[in-house]
Structure 1
Amino acid sequence: MARLARMAGSLFPDTVGLGVMSIGAAENPWPEEQPVVARAVPHRQAEFAAGRAAARIAMAAIGAPRAAIPAGEDRAPIWPADLTGSITHAEDTALAVVASTSHFRGLGIDIEPDAPLPADVLSEICDGDECAWISGQPAPLRWARLIFVAKEAAFKCQYPVSKTIFGFDVMTIRIFPETGQLTARFTRAVAPYAAGELLHGRYVLSAGLIIAGFIDPAGRA
């Protein structure tokens, strides 16, 4: 878990707290959280508990008090009023990032195995520009998987601000392999984000995993 924490931590500024928890090792969800998974299968309950526990570790990392993180009707986490964050799950581990809303409007993190994206879903995930870029790279479907992970992380980052659900075509990803940086550009307006507006992120490929992280700084117009 220490290696995974270092990988994920490298994607975010020091003002972002990170938490990692093994699935199956967490305490039970807090009472305010339990209704979210009351009828879920045992693995989903363990996954949920690990995600919430990881988030509370991330809270402590920035000096914030541990708090319940229930979910709304959209199933997105409801963070304490002065915090924002994001949760993701690997096969056996949950990761969470948390920061003060005085620093960031939103955060997004996502993790997937470092494996090729299935070719039959490529057209659902990647637009023409993205497909053109990966076609010039070695192992193009591996890069397509990174685009999928980046879009998931970027969506999580913007959602606390826009409260809007949309498809993969609303953001286009640009990858900068030489620096490990990412951008997610809105292809159409999603209020308050304008068409063409960018979110900035980073990625890491290591230990058989792809992790992407995005930030949306506070104070943006």
Structure 2
Amino acid sequence: MPAAQAEMVELTRGLLPGPVAVCASRIGPDDAGLWPVEADAMRRAVPRRRAEFAAGRLAARRAMAELGQTPGAIPMRHDRSPEWPARLTGSITHAGGLALAAVARTDQVAAIGIDAEPDEPLPEGLLGLICRAEERAWCATTPDPGRAARLIFAAKEAAYKCQYPLSGKLFGHEALRITVGGAGRLTACFMQPAGPFAAGETMAGQAGWRHGMIIAAFSVPLGH
């Protein structure tokens, strides 16, 4: 595994508490490695999307094997979310030519969400769509408001992926409020009810930076 790829895997693993396997795969020029049910879901997708999808599934199967589980197919549900094999939960993200997957057993971790983004300013036209007023106010206090907004975006994407398997709730960026603490500490607060999550309830997360990328990660412990 190339050193930079190994460092991204190690960074992501360090952001997630508990027994979680994290693996990566470079996004190649084709969709080699897709299982039949996965290829069927991608039959109308453009080549780039098929390649990203294939790399993400390959990374996820590597993570399954690292957990000691038999690698299996990961179909795409009607809502486009991954359908993980029984007794497993996980999350997949793509950025910078790399697919990352985090996988855990559901008897050890309730849910996981990860997101990778380029460590670059969020386009100004997206600021009002992504960030709530209080988040925009926080961004304005930082040395680089655009990059701070990108962090908020990555955190919301990761938090959304984390809560969705438990709530099945579709909602927009305004439904989560992100607070950033020291050393990349993240808190996602639900601004409206979502399945088992009450309005005002929070999830804890963490962000890290390496090789020009931001990684945001959230997890929900058992017993929620």
Q: Same fold (TM over 0.5)?
A: yes
161-170 or 26-35: bigger deviation: 26-35
Give the equivalent residue in structure 1 for 2:216: 212
TM, length-normalised to structure 1: 0.95
2:145 aligned with 1:137, yes or no? no
Q: 2:195 aligns with which of 168, 191, 196?
A: 191
Give the equivalent residue in structure 2 for 1:50: 55
2:207 aligned with 1:203, yes or no? yes
Partner letter of residue 116 of structure 2?
I
Offset, 1:9 = 1.6
Give the equivalent residue in structure 1 for 2:6: 2
Q: Kindly report which structure 2 residues correspond to 1:59-78, keeping only aligned pairs within 5 A, or say none.
A: 59-78=64-83
2:119 and 2:141 map into 1 onto residues whose CA distance is 19
Question: How large is the Cα RMSD of the aligned pairs?
Answer: 1.2
2:121 aligned with 1:91, yes or no? no
Partner letter of residue 213 of structure 1?
A
CA deviation profile, 1:102-158 (whole Å, cap 9, x unmatched): 122210000010000111111111111111111111111110000000000000000
TM, length-normalised to structure 2: 0.94
80-89 or 18-27: bigger deviation: 18-27
1:103 and 1:141 map into 2 onto residues whose CA distance is 37
2:97 and 2:123 map into 1 onto residues whose CA distance is 22
Q: Kindly report which structure 2 residues correspond to 1:161-172, keeping only aligned pairs within 5 A, or say none.
A: 161-172=166-177
Give the equivalent residue in structure 2 for 1:20: 24
Listed as ranges, the gaps of 5+ residues in structure 1 are none
Offset, 1:27 = 3.8
Offset, 1:14 = 4.7
Give the equivalent residue in structure 2 for 1:150: 155
Please state which structure has a larger fraction of its residues in helix.
Answer: 2
Identical positions, percent: 48
Give the equivalent residue in structure 1 for 2:129: 124
2:183 aligned with 1:179, yes or no? yes
Listed as ranges, the gaps of 5+ residues in structure 2 are none
